[in-house]
């Protein structure tokens, strides 16, 4: 990703997150997990239920994560909060560390990988348009 693309992605990320936090009323965070000891999704802002066209969540990828190649029907923007996430887009690997951005858009194929010997990776993720958090939640297990 070029510096200009990174800047645009950061501005979009912060704008969406800021608008979402401004518009959001007090709600409980809903959590989903991909399986026992798997990736954890904490839905921070469920856009469609709030009348907005964006979802915001925090993903925690445990060591050894390999999501396998998959695609989304929406734009997905990652902002790395902690750790290192290998973000493979259409076969091209990008090592994302704290403070870095990555994104995919349809019809990109993405794979998220975390070193089995490293720490977990945490990312703020924004999906636009909204609805992707619910889609993921429908396939994962809800956790307390």
Determine phi and psi for 119, rounding to 5 degrees: -80, 170
CA distance 113 to 116: 9
Closest Cα partner for 44 from 24, 60, 72, 73? 24
Residue 1 — very low, low, confident or very high, per pLDDT cuts 50/70/90? low
Residue 66 DSSP one-character state: B
Q: Is the pLDDT at 127 greater than 90, yes or no?
A: yes
Residue 5 in tokens: 């693309």
Q: How many CB atoms lie within 10 A of CB 25?
A: 5
- Note whether 59 and 34 are within 8 A (CB): no
Predicted local distance difference test score (pLDDT) of residue 11: 47
Identify the weakest region by mean pLDDT among 1-5, 43-47, 79-83.
1-5
Predicted local distance difference test score (pLDDT) of residue 111: 97
- If one counts the domains in the chain, the total is 1
Predicted local distance difference test score (pLDDT) of residue 51: 85
Q: State whether residue 29 is helix, strand or coil.
A: coil
Q: How many CB atoms lie within 10 A of CB 117?
A: 7
Which residues constitute the domain of residue 16? Answer: 3-143
pLDDT tens-place string over residues 6-62: 544 554 555 555 544 544 444 578 999 999 999 999 999 998 888 889 999 999 999
CA distance 19 to 37: 32
- Note whether 16 and 128 are within 8 A (CB): yes
Helix (H), strand (E) at residue 50: helix 47-50
* Whole-prediction pTM: 0.81
Q: Which CATH number is 87's domain given?
A: 2.60.120.10
């Amino acid at each position: 990703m070029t510096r200009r693309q990174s800047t645009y992605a950061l501005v979009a990320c912060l704008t969406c997150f800021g608008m979402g936090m401004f518009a959001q009323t007090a709600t409980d965070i809903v959590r989903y997990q991909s399986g026992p000891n798997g990736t954890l999704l904490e839905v921070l802002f469920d856009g469609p239920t709030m009348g907005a066209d964006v979802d915001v969540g925090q993903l925690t990828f445990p060591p050894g994560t390999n999501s396998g190649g998959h695609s989304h029907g929406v734009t997905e923007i990652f902002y790395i909060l902690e750790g290192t996430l290998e973000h493979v887009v259409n076969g091209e690997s990008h090592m994302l560390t704290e403070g870095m951005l990555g994104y995919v858009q349809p019809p990109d194929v993405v794979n998220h990988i975390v070193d089995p010997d490293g720490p977990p990776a945490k990312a703020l993720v924004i999906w636009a348009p909204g609805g992707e958090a619910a889609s993921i939640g429908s396939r994962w297990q809800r956790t307390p």
